[in-house]
Amino acid sequence: MSTAALSKPERPAPGDATPAPVTRLHPAAAVATASWNLEAVVSGLRSVRERWRLSQQRQREWGGRELPSREALRNVVAGLCGALFPMRLGPAELRQENEDFYVGHTLDAALNGLAEQVALELDYQQRHGRPDVDAGPDAAARIVREFAAALPAIRELLDSDVEAAYRGDPAAGSVDEVVLCYPGIHAVIHHRLAHQLYRLGVPLIARIVAELAHSATGIDIHPGAQIGPSFFIDHGTGVVIGETAVIGARVRLYQAVTLGAKRFPVGADGSLEKGLPRHPIIEDDVVIYAGATVLGRITVGRGSSVGGNVWLTRSLPPGSHVTQAGLQQEPAAGDGAYI
């Protein structure tokens, strides 16, 4: 037994002629010697896994890793963010004279890592309901090559988002502060990357990338959502943007805004129908204030504003200005009210 696991010997009583030092286990060592009955726990977990795989018709069909790795994608996205904004999101020691070298080296590592994850997803899709998916050796490289080619355009879009945040927030001291500090920009960077991956046919990877930002910021943007340039989410916590939402240019959202679905159609077999347009269309130059909820496949017309905590389920014509007080004065729903 290690002496590090022993406490100091107890002192003998005064006058004791033959002291017998008593040693005690350190509490941490006592825990280390406990038995967790791990063999039974491991066996039980294996039985549960096997029952689940049998129920999902996955029994014995695949021996290696089947799904993309969240941790690997976290590293990929960190590299992509550094390559997009090297002097702001890159390493502290980077200097401008080394910028291109850093971007090239970082992109090479990130794109190679991404290609591994794309190959896993394509194989997964082919095994589970998508036999038409090309999971051949060149398919992942082709997708990542197209993704890489889109990065300059993504950076241009993000520049417009950063400018919109700087112009739209009087508390913003600089565009650099916006990139470094604003959770809305963090979420939008992830969304621009995730949306491109979604369009290229790897929706699971796209969703993981989106959820990395969701976990960090509380802003939930589905990678399928289409968002135009100069998009600004102020404060951001609690914002939800659904899969089929379409957002135009120069749109501004505040915290706790929901662009959601009003209802979920059910198919003949009782399961939810997927992929149907069910989220709002927000046209150019719209502002939606904190806590507003906009539901269903409705259109909020160009130049409109939706006040805080408004619950909106009907389309608005261009130039509308809706507040809770205004809605209370609208006619009944059958007479053209917005909610």
Q: Kindly report, residue by residue over 55-75, the tens digit of the pLDDT.
A: 877 655 556 678 999 999 999
Indicate if the pLDDT at residue 159 is higher than 80. yes
Q: How confident is the model at residue 267 (pLDDT cuts 50, 70, 90)?
A: confident
- What is the rounded average pLDDT of the residues 266-272? 80
User: Domain 238-339 class?
Assistant: mainly beta
Cα-based distances in Å from 66 to 58, 127, 188, 289? 11, 10, 29, 42
pLDDT of residue 60: 53
Question: Is residue 339's pLDDT more than 50?
Answer: no
pLDDT at 130: 86
Q: Return the pLDDT at 13.
A: 55
- Please tell me what DSSP assigns to residue 17: S
Cβ atoms < 10 Å from Cβ of 258? 21
Residue 224 near residue 178 (C-beta atoms within 8 A): no
Q: Where residue 7 falls among pLDDT bands split at 50, 70, 90?
A: very low
CATH 2.160.10.10 residue ranges in the chain?
A: 238-339
For the chain, where do the domains classified as CATH 1.10.3130.10 start and end?
Answer: 67-218
The average pLDDT across 317-332 equals 76
Rg of the chain on CA atoms, in Å: 28
Cα-based distances in Å from 318 to 171, 303, 306, 321, 322: 29, 6, 12, 9, 12
Q: 67-218 adopts what CATH topology? A: serine acetyltransferase, domain 1 (1.10.3130)
**What amino acid occupies position 335?**
D
Interatomic CA distance for residues 305 and 328, integer angstroms: 16
Averaged pLDDT, 310-331? 84
- Give the Cα-Cα-Cα angle 61, 64, 68 (nearest 5 degrees): 110
Q: What is the pLDDT of residue 131?
A: 86
Residue 4, pLDDT score: 47
Please say if the pLDDT value at position 253 is more than 60. yes
Highest mean pLDDT pick, 23-37, 218-232, 321-335? 218-232
Question: Residue by residue, what is the 3-state secondary structure of 202-246?
Answer: CHHHHHHHHHHHHHHHCCEECCCCEECCCCEECCCCCCEECCCCE
DSSP notation for 107-169: HHHHHHHHHHHHHHHHHHHHHTT-TTS--STTHHHHHHHHHHHTHHHHHHHHHHHHHHHHHH-
pLDDT tens figures, 166-193: 999 999 999 999 999 999 999 999 999 9
Give every CB contact of residue 8 below 8 A, 6+ residues apart in sequence: none
